[in-house]
Each structure stands twice: as structure tokens, then as C-alpha cells.
């Protein structure tokens, strides 16, 4: 019985380590957010913004990077696309959010796509994060 418990604990620790230490390949995750498809563990948001694209992305970057456990994986406002990774509090599951901005009228259109790396359902976490970021954007 003790061996079984130790084996179960070792497997649990190995799974937790994999979730936190698995490689994050920017070439895979730093993709065009307009090509993303919504699913049970992803969400897409299109948000007009009055600023030009690079400035709108810079404002969004400030909002995103103020989010706990969020860091930039790739890109910059000058590149026209940024990808962030946000980790869950307890297990450290990685969610990737990519944003791009394109000119639209006098301002720009921000397109954000958030998706979970692991699992089938994120319980709406990515959709909620996109809504919170959009609500926090200064106009």
C-alpha cells in the first residue's frame, strides 16, 4: 500500500513538473489570432480601438502584463503581434493569448485569441480574461 501511495505521489509530481516545465515554442503559439477558432478551451475577441495599431497594442500590452502570472512570450507592438502566457494559480497550466492590430478607419481593430495548452475545457477562463482585458483598455 505504501509503495502504491509513493508511486501515485511521484506520478502526480511528475505531471505537475511537466505542466510547469514543458517547452513553450513561440513558433507554435505566436500565430495569427485571426486564424484561431473558438473551442471549448479557446476564445476570440475583436475590439475596435481609437488608437493606431502599434499604440493600441502598446496599451493592451500594459493591461496584459499587469495581469498576475502573465508574461510576454513573443512579439511587440512594433511587430504588430504579441503573445503572452498566463499561468493558473495552483497548477501553473499555461494559457496563450495572442493579439494583433490592424488599421481600421481612424483607429485599429484588435484581434485577440486565447487558448489553453493542456486539457479539453478551460471552464471559460480564456473568454473571461479577454473580456477583462477589453474592459480595462482605456479609450
Distance, in Å, from the CA atom of 125 to the CA atom of 115, rounded to the nearest integer, reads 9
**3 state SS of 122:** coil
Q: What percent of the chain has pLDDT over 90?
A: 61
- Residue 25 pLDDT greater than 80, yes or no: yes
- Residue 54 pLDDT greater than 90, yes or no: yes
In terms of phi and psi (left: phi > 0; alpha: psi -120 to 50; beta: otherwise), the region of 87 is beta
pTM above 0.95, yes or no: no
In terms of phi and psi (left: phi > 0; alpha: psi -120 to 50; beta: otherwise), the region of 104 is beta
Residue 103: per-residue pLDDT:
96
Average pLDDT over residues 103-126: 92
Distance, in Å, from the CA atom of 1 to the CA atom of 3, rounded to the nearest integer, reads 5
Per-residue confidence band for 91, with pLDDT thresholds at 50, 70 and 90: confident
Amino acid at each position: 500500500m505504501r509503495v502504491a501511495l509513493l508511486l501515485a505521489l511521484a506520478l502526480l509530481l511528475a505531471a505537475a513538473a511537466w505542466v510547469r516545465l514543458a517547452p513553450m515554442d513561440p513558433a507554435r503559439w505566436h500565430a495569427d489570432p485571426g486564424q484561431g477558432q473558438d473551442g471549448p478551451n479557446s476564445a476570440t475577441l475583436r475590439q475596435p480601438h481609437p488608437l493606431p495599431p502599434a499604440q493600441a497594442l502598446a496599451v493592451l500590452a500594459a493591461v496584459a502584463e499587469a495581469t498576475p502570472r502573465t508574461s510576454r512570450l513573443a512579439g511587440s507592438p512594433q511587430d504588430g503581434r504579441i503573445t503572452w502566457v498566463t499561468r493558473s494559480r495552483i497548477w501553473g497550466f499555461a494559457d496563450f493569448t495572442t493579439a494583433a492590430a490592424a488599421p481600421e478607419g481612424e483607429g485599429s481593430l484588435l484581434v485577440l485569441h486565447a487558448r489553453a495548452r493542456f486539457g479539453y475545457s478551460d471552464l471559460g477562463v480564456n473568454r473571461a480574461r479577454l473580456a477583462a482585458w477589453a474592459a480595462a483598455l482605456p479609450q
